[in-house]
Amino acid sequence: MTTEPRPDTEEIRPFSAATRVYATAIVLGLLGVVFFAVTRWIDGNFGVITIDQMMLNLAGGAEGVNTGDTSLVDSFIAEGLLTPLLIVAGAVAVFAVAMRLTARFRRRTGKPRSPKGWRTLALTLSIALVVGTAPQLANQMSLTQTIAAQASTDSLSDVYRDPAAVTAPETKKNLVTIYLESMEPTFSDATLFGRNLLQPLDDVTGDGWQQIDSYAQGDGLGWTMAGIVATQCGIPIKSAGGGAAAPTGEGEEGEEVFNEIGANAEHYLPGITCLGDVLTEAGYTNHFMGGADGTFANKKLFMTDHGYADFLDRSTWKAEGETRMNRWGLEDERLFDRAAQKVDELRAAGTPFNLTMLSVDSHRPGFPGSTCTASGDDLERAITCSMQYVGGFVKHLEEIGALEDTVVVLMGDHKYMMPDADLFKGKSAAGVTRTVFNRFWSPDGATVHTASTDQYAMLPSILDLLGFEVPEGRAGIGVSAVGDYPVAGTLYDLDPTARAQLILAPSTDLYSRFWGGQ
């Protein structure tokens, strides 16, 4: 009489308890890996963001602001979905092999099988993965704050002021604005980084230059496009639904708003007045120069929709034969060499101009220029050399006499995309408050009346510096920091908690108009 050999592993039958446990473990494991991958993807592309903002960038939201460029969506699918699928498939295969090998070993040694042990292990690991990654994703997408704000009936319309209400001066000063990628004053702290990484820029922005001592990053503004919209339009980026996939509304009015938004599917916030619009109306020409691709997060679409007739980006430089490129785009040294030539041309034209630039070398994890000889790790070298190139450009403005008739604004687009624990790893950073870098010059001089404010204040501040009459110093939801204005009835009259809740509130009445083009 012969006996049937015992199977190497437990029998997995359809709908059996074992099948259900393993299926649950696989689903949970996949969910956990997706949470981890999506968190990394969001962090690398945007930093801290809201759900509404991410959906707006991925799918265009109700507004359909995509322009046919699918690279962002493609990278999300590849990194956030397909890669986790492959990882989990590989893990399942390894787990199955381990089960089989262990079962064979136990059979040879005469030890009893323990199928329940494998089920418990699989389920425990998958649950631990979800529990460990879900809070990180929720934090990356401001989930708790956003959910709390969705219940609010308040609206930013209560504190919003249309920038179109400003009055242009008779004598117009030029404007040069430089967004410094991920730049914060923390990098000047020699106790943290061994030296002042911003020293090359400090050397050329001394006497006569001003700064807002505590220039905070607003909620949901931890990425480039959000920082640009906040400082040029004075608002946070939201969809028309302010947190939903579509604008809200009842009856015919809601349908009308939705249809109008659909009709403007190829425009970015067509119903709001921003800095470029105000300057165009005042007779300025607007020019943008950046190293990175303008299609990312619809930067080019926003700029060209709001007064920038001249937009130069990575595609421009490649077409013109530039070869000094890093992962994001044209190296800063070449960008500011080009910018020096551009400002010479604009001054020769004799028309008031606004030249806006955006650097790339200091983007995480740091991309030192090919001629950079600074010491330190990649980030320290990238920042030091980038500040040398920016400082050289500012020096050029001084040498050609541009500082006599030009307002110059230097500011970070947002803080560096890395939490304190990682940025200051191994360093004593107790008491360090991270803010956004800023510095500005006015030929007429300027006095900062507000030592502590945020990115929404930059739009009215710039208009103030240019000599525009800004009613009550208010434009967008911000109040100018370079004028002595009351804050009663403004965003800054609220305590920090109420202010954050108001900023994250849907405000559908306002954003339906901004996206609808009315």
**Model pLDDT, residue 254:** 34
The arithmetic mean of pLDDT across residues 4-31, rounded, is 69
Is there a single domain that holds both residue 295 and residue 389? yes
Is there a single domain that holds both residue 294 and residue 193? yes
With a cut of 50, say whether residue 252 has pLDDT above it: no
User: Confidence class of residue 417 from pLDDT cuts 50, 70 and 90?
Assistant: confident
Tell me the C-alpha to C-alpha distance, in Å, between residue 155 and each of 462, 504, 507: 25, 9, 4
**Model pLDDT, residue 38:** 87
**Higher pLDDT, residue 422 or 265:** 422
Number of domains comprising the chain: 2
With a cut of 60, say whether residue 177 has pLDDT above it: yes
Evaluate whether residue 507 is within a structural domain: no
Q: For residue 455, give both structure tokens.
A: 């990115």
**Model pLDDT, residue 46:** 72
Evaluate whether residue 501 is within a structural domain: no
Q: Which domain holds residue 325?
A: 160-235+272-423+432-488
Evaluate whether residue 314 is within a structural domain: yes
Q: Whole-angstrom Cα distance, residue 136 to residue 419?
A: 12
Is there a single domain that holds both residue 75 and residue 219? no
For 270-328, how does the pLDDT look when each residue is reduced to its tens digit (9 = 90+)?
999 999 999 999 999 999 999 999 988 789 999 999 999 999 999 999 999 999 999 99
**Higher pLDDT, residue 82 or 102:** 82
Evaluate whether residue 214 is within a structural domain: yes
Is there a single domain that holds both residue 356 and residue 408? yes
Evaluate whether residue 245 is within a structural domain: no
Evaluate whether residue 260 is within a structural domain: no
**Model pLDDT, residue 173:** 98
With a cut of 80, say whether residue 253 has pLDDT above it: no
Is there a single domain that holds both residue 94 and residue 226? no
Instruction: Point out the least confidently predicted range of 130-134, 159-163, 180-184.
Output: 130-134
One-letter amino acid at 512 equals S
**Higher pLDDT, residue 169 or 43:** 169
Dihedral sign computed on CA atoms, order 238, 239, 242, 244: negative
The arithmetic mean of pLDDT across residues 40-55, rounded, is 73
Instruction: Report the predicted TM-score, pTM, of the whole model to 2 decimal places.
Output: 0.80
**Higher pLDDT, residue 505 or 457:** 457
Is there a single domain that holds both residue 59 and residue 127? yes
Evaluate whether residue 279 is within a structural domain: yes
Is there a single domain that holds both residue 101 and residue 219? no
CATH of the domain at 399: 3.40.720.10
With a cut of 80, say whether residue 49 has pLDDT above it: no
Is there a single domain that holds both residue 106 and residue 199? no
Contact (CB, 8 A) for 396 and 164: no
Q: Whole-angstrom Cα distance, residue 449 to residue 114?
A: 72
With a cut of 60, say whether residue 10 has pLDDT above it: no
Evaluate whether residue 402 is within a structural domain: yes
